[in-house]
Structure 1
Amino acid sequence: MKILVSALETSSNIHLKELKKYLSDEVEFVGVFDKELGTPLYDLTALAIMGFIDALKKLRFFFKLRDELVELAKDCDKVLLMDSSGFNLPLAKKLKETYPNKQIIYYILPQAWAWKKKRVEKLQAYCTKLCSIIPFEEELYTKKDLITYVGHPLLDEIKHFKQTYEKTNKIIYMPGSRKTEIVNHMPVFRQIVKELPNKEHILIIPSKFDQEYINRVYGDISDFTISNDAHKSLIEAEFGFICSGTATLEASLIGTPFVMSYVAKKLDYFIGRLFVKLPYIGLANIFFDKMGKKAIHKEFFQEEVTFKNLLDEYHNMNKENFLNNSKILREYLKNGSSKNVAQIIQN
């Protein structure tokens, strides 16, 4: 079986690697994905974008990529789209128009519950199966047979969870995987290191980055211990300073107390806040809000992201309470999704 895959995000490819474990060896990926999983059209690092401005700059390239993927789909049995709705929804539309009978599976759905609810109509029109990883997501859809809550992929990928809180003298820093996120967070993180001199400071750097890119984007990292294994480092750490994204949910599930921060280009942040009408940005906080509970962790944005604000949370957070909430979150999401999605693909 040959599957056209469009997985542009780093987090999507982590989920895709886990999914591949449950697929037959005869399944072949073509399209856009991590090079560890086959031979993709393009290196993922060339595709990473952050915000509206970056997207506009690369618009012509993404139109070209869409057309290339539509052409590739001609020889594929099925299509698997993952996250990246700004690219994958127009791609789904073009695929549906070109191959009306081809099965199009969308895994890691656009967050229509957060903003742009009209995407629900598009997903129902273009796709043949929607694999949801958010328990309350199904409520938005009218075609109930089209959407299935498959569980959350992080519960497949995380192998160990904390049951008790311990001071380990290790602090973890996760500045994100996009260039803008990293550049904005590293100066603040370096200040925190100076304020906590008797700790081991572990900096997570994605393994896909080469040394030249690391030197250019991260700046001076001589005071950090470098790690490519986020889950292992989260288990070992007593606290984390984490940029908004999947990593905040990983830490929330594992049970490592942390504070979330996010610094975007001012225009991107303004536009995002204009359209997203949610009380929180962190997924764990959104889940707790849906359960009628208080936020599990603090969130700081833009000018609020100072070393003082982040350090105050490190010193004052109720870490035992965080761990108890982490256990509630694991139960809420119930199970992993990889095996369930693999069955849907191979049926």
Structure 2
Amino acid sequence: MKILVSALETSSNIHLKELKKHLDDDIELVGVFDKELGNPLYDLTALAIMGFVDALKKLRFFFKLRDELVELAKDCDKVLLMDSSGFNLPLAKKLKKTYPNKEIIYYILPQAWAWKKKRVEKLQEYCTKLCSIIPFEQELYSKKEMISYVGHPLLDEITQFKHTYEKTDKIVFMPGSRKTEITNHMPIFRQIARSIPNKQHILIIPSKFDKEYIKNTYGDTSDFTISNDAHQSLIDAEFGFICSGTATLEASLIGTPFVMSYVAKRFDYFLGRMFVKLPYIGLANIFFDKMGKNAIHKEFFQEEVTSKNLLDEYINMDKKQFLNNSKVLREYLQNGSSKNVAQIIQN
């Protein structure tokens, strides 16, 4: 079986790697994904974008990429789309029009519960099967037979969980995987590292980045020990300073106390706040809100993201309560998703 895959995000490719373990050996992946999983059309590093402004700059390229993937799909048995709704929804539309009978599976659905609820109708129109990793997501969909909660991929990928809170000599810093996230956070993270003596400061850098990219994007990293293993670093650390994204849910599940921060381009942040009407941004906080509980961690945005605010949370956070909440979160998400998605693909 040959499957066309569109997985543009770093996090999507981590999930895809786990999913591939449960697929039959004769299944071939083609399309866009991390090069360690096969022979993709493009290196993911070239596709990394952030926000509306960056996306507009690369618009022509993404139209070309969409057309190339539609052409590739001609010889594929099924299509697997992962996250990246800004690209994958228009791709799904064109695939459906070109190949009306081809099975299109969407895994890591667009967060229509956060904004752009009209995407629900588009997903139901263009796709065949929808694999949800958010327990409450199914409520939005009228075609219940299309969508199923498959579990959460992080519960496949995380192999160790904390059961008691212990101080260690390590603190982890995760400035994100997109260029703008990294450049916005690194000056603040450097200040924090220099303000906490007698600790080892672990900086998580995705393994796909080469030395030149790291030098140009991260700048001076002499205050940090570099790690490519986010899970193990979170297990080892007593606390984390983490940019908004999948990593915040990862830390919440593992049980590593942290504070979340996010600094976007002003225009992007303005648009986001205008359209997204949610009390929180961090997924763990959103889940707790759905359960009628208080937030599991603090969130700081834009001008609030200062070394003082983040350090205050490091000092004052109730870390044992965080761990208790982490256990509640694990129960809420139930199980991993990869095996269930593999079964859907192969049926």
TM-score (norm 2): 1.00
One-letter amino acid of the counterpart of residue 176, structure 1 = G
In the aligned structure 2, how far is the partner of 1:176 from the partner of 1:193? 17
| Residue in structure 1 matched with residue 317 of structure 2 by the alignment | 317
Matched residue, 2:91: 91
Deviations 1:272-322 (CA, angstroms, capped at 9, x unpaired): 000000000000000000000000000000000000000000000000000
In 2: Cα distance, 1:256 partner to 1:215 partner:
28
Whether 2:53 is the aligned partner of 1:53: answer: yes
Write the mapping of 1:162-173 to structure 2, written as runs, cut at 5 A: 162-173=162-173
Cα distance in 1, alignment partners of residues 193 and 223 from structure 2: 8
In structure 1, what is the Cα distance between the partners aligned to 2:183 and 2:223?
Answer: 17
**Secondary structure class of the residue paired with 1:131:** strand
Q: Within the alignment, does 1:30 sit opposite 2:30 as a pair?
A: yes
Q: In angstroms, what is the RMSD of aligned CA positions?
A: 0.3
For residue 314 of structure 1, what is the amino acid of its counterpart? Answer: Y
Deviation at 1:169, TM superposition (A): 1.5
Question: By how many angstroms is 1:166 displaced?
Answer: 0.3
1:114 counterpart letter in structure 2: A
Please tell me the residue identity of whatever aligns with 2:257. Answer: P
Per the alignment, residue 346 of structure 1 pairs with: 346
Q: Which runs of 5+ in 1 are unaligned?
A: none
Structure 1 residue aligned with 2:268: 268
- Alignment partner of 1:184 is 2:146: no
CA distance in 2, matches of 1:20, 1:313: 39
| Residue 107 of structure 1, CA deviation | 0.1
CA shift at 1:95, angstroms?
A: 0.1
CA distance in 2, matches of 1:331, 1:339: 18
Which position in structure 1 is the counterpart of 2:244? Answer: 244
1:292 & 1:68 partners in 2: Cα distance? Answer: 46
Which residue number corresponds to residue 102 of structure 2?
102
Partner of 1:291: 291
Q: CA deviation at 1:344?
A: 0.2
Spell out structure 1 runs of 4+ moving beyond 3 A: none
Partner of 1:145: 145
Which position in structure 2 is the counterpart of 1:155? 155
Letter in 2 for 1:247: A
Task: Give the Cα–Cα distance (whole angstroms) in 1 for the partners of residues 13 and 46 of structure 2.
Answer: 15
- Alignment correspondent of 1:20: 20
- Displacement, 1:223? 1.2
Shift of 1:116: 0.1
Deviations 1:236-257 (A, max 9, x none): 0000000000000000000000
Counterparts of 1:109 and 1:216 in 2: how far apart (Å)? 33
Match of 2:277 in 1: 277
CA distance in 2, matches of 1:243, 1:104: 32
Whole-Å Cα distance in 2 between the matches of residues 273 and 61 of structure 1?
28
Per-residue deviation, residues 194-238 of structure 1 (Å, max 9, x unmatched):
110111000000000000000111011011010000000000000
Inter-partner Cα distance in structure 1 for 2:133 and 2:52: 25
Alignment partners' CA distance in 1, 2:128 and 2:215: 44
Percent identity, please.
Answer: 86
- Provide the rounded CA distance (Å) in 2 between the counterparts of 1:277 and 1:299: 15
Secondary structure (helix, strand or coil) at the match of 1:207 reads coil
- Distance in 1 separating the partners of 2:33 and 2:271: 29
**1:90 Cα deviation after fit:** 0.2
Q: Deviations over 1:80-114 (max 9, x none)?
A: 00000000000000000000000000000000000
- The aligned residue for residue 44 of structure 2 is 44
Using the alignment, how far apart are the partners of 1:110 and 1:304 within structure 2? Answer: 28
Q: Which residue of structure 1 lines up, in the alignment, with residue 77 of structure 2?
A: 77
How far residue 28 of structure 1 moved from its aligned partner, in angstroms, is: 0.3
Calculate the TM-score normalised by the size of structure 1. 1.00
Contiguous gaps of at least 5 residues in structure 2 = none
- Number of aligned pairs? 347
Q: Return the alpha-carbon distance in structure 1 between the equivalents of residues 332 and 68 of structure 2.
A: 40
Q: Deviations over 1:35-73 (max 9, x none)?
A: 001000000001011000001000000000000000000
Helix, strand or coil at the partner of 1:105 = strand
Q: Check if 1:10 corresponds to 2:18.
A: no
Paired residue secondary structure (2:297): coil
- The answer on 1:336 being equivalent to 2:342 is no
CA distance in 2: counterparts of 1:319 and 1:144, whole angstroms? 40
SS at match of 1:145: coil
